[in-house]
Amino acid sequence: MILVTGAYGFIGRYLIEMLLTQGFDVIASGKHIPGKQARRLFDKYNGHFEAREFNVTRANFKSLPDKGISAVVHCAALLRIDVQKYTAFDYFNVNSTGTYNILEYCRKTKVEKIVYIMTHSDINDADSEIIKEDTPRQFKTPYYGDKNYLPFIISKVAGADLVTKFDQDEMVRGIILRLSNIRGYGSKDSKFNCVFHNFIKKAINGEPIEIWGDHTTRRDLIYVKDVCHAIISAIKTPEARFTYNIGTGVGLTIEDEAKAIIEAFSSDQKKSDIIYKPDITEVRTKSCVFDITKAREELAWSPKYTYLEAMKDFKQCMDNNSYE
């Protein structure tokens, strides 16, 4: 039996479906259970899926099983994108104390392993463009409005350090999956006016897409379904422990992104044109590409989707209203 916290968030919604299709029994936990999705999964996977309300900030595990859980996938977290909604206390309460509570649950109920979902923000200002698992932590803490991202980053780092320490002290095997930039339908940033979703809207409407600056900055962009495959590989690999970079190992420029988005989302009758604006400074100025050698070798995992394939699958999910 696999327990997934934050099961109704962006990654969780994809993950529980993938776990179930691969034959795992799943308990999906969250502060609130969306009835429509839970009922659909219960009806489709009757006997293999359970939904439990559970708040990670409360060290009360009565709603969770006291035995029979082989692995916990800890997705529950407050995200950087919601910085205007939450206080520093909120971030540490959920991302740090909440992780400690889940680790204590694992220890007390003898769970074999925990898979912790980690942000790449801890290396967002690293000196090297190529990021390895042992690349020293180095990050900027910019402001968004009047709020700073520091509580988010430090709270996630603290959670990762707790997972590592529980493993070192042999209380539960800890696996930390540090994710590069994720793409996929249903992500929370679709509610914000970000470049990626702007490109998609323009491509659908056949409107011109602007590329600013010299567009040489490269970023590692991983599809959400490849992330879920990596999580399942970590669950299945007995020797897996500590940190793994989960990305594509390939750096894409903003021009690469735009071309793939146009190919996937624009109609043949009304394709978006790319307009280059070299006189406007590029928004993204720091390149970052993950070295995924360790995940390939130890987890026997590698991404299945090219960026174009990911965008085409994104569109199919969007057209079908999947994973909302």
How many distinct structural domains can be found in the chain? 1
Q: Residue 282: inside a domain, yes or no?
A: no
Rg (CA), the chain: 20
Residue 177's closest CA among 134, 234, 138, 132? Answer: 234
pLDDT at position 173 is 98
Q: Residue 233: inside a domain, yes or no?
A: yes
Q: Residue 103: inside a domain, yes or no?
A: yes
CATH of the domain at 60: 3.40.50.720
Domain membership of residue 80 as a residue range: 2-183+221-248+289-304
The Cα angle at residue 110 between residues 176 and 108, in degrees rounded to 5: 100
pLDDT at position 309 is 98
Q: Residue 225: inside a domain, yes or no?
A: yes
pLDDT at position 35 is 64
CA 258 – CA 282 distance, rounded (Å): 14
pLDDT at position 218 is 96
Per-residue pLDDT of the chain (324 residues; tens, 9 = 90+): 999 999 989 999 999 999 999 999 999 998 777 767 667 777 788 778 888 888 999 888 888 999 999 999 999 999 988 888 999 999 999 999 999 999 999 999 999 999 999 999 999 899 999 999 999 999 887 766 667 889 999 999 999 999 999 999 999 999 999 999 999 998 876 555 688 999 999 999 999 999 999 899 999 999 999 999 999 999 999 999 999 999 999 999 999 999 999 999 999 999 999 999 999 988 888 899 999 999 999 999 999 999 999 999 999 999 988 766
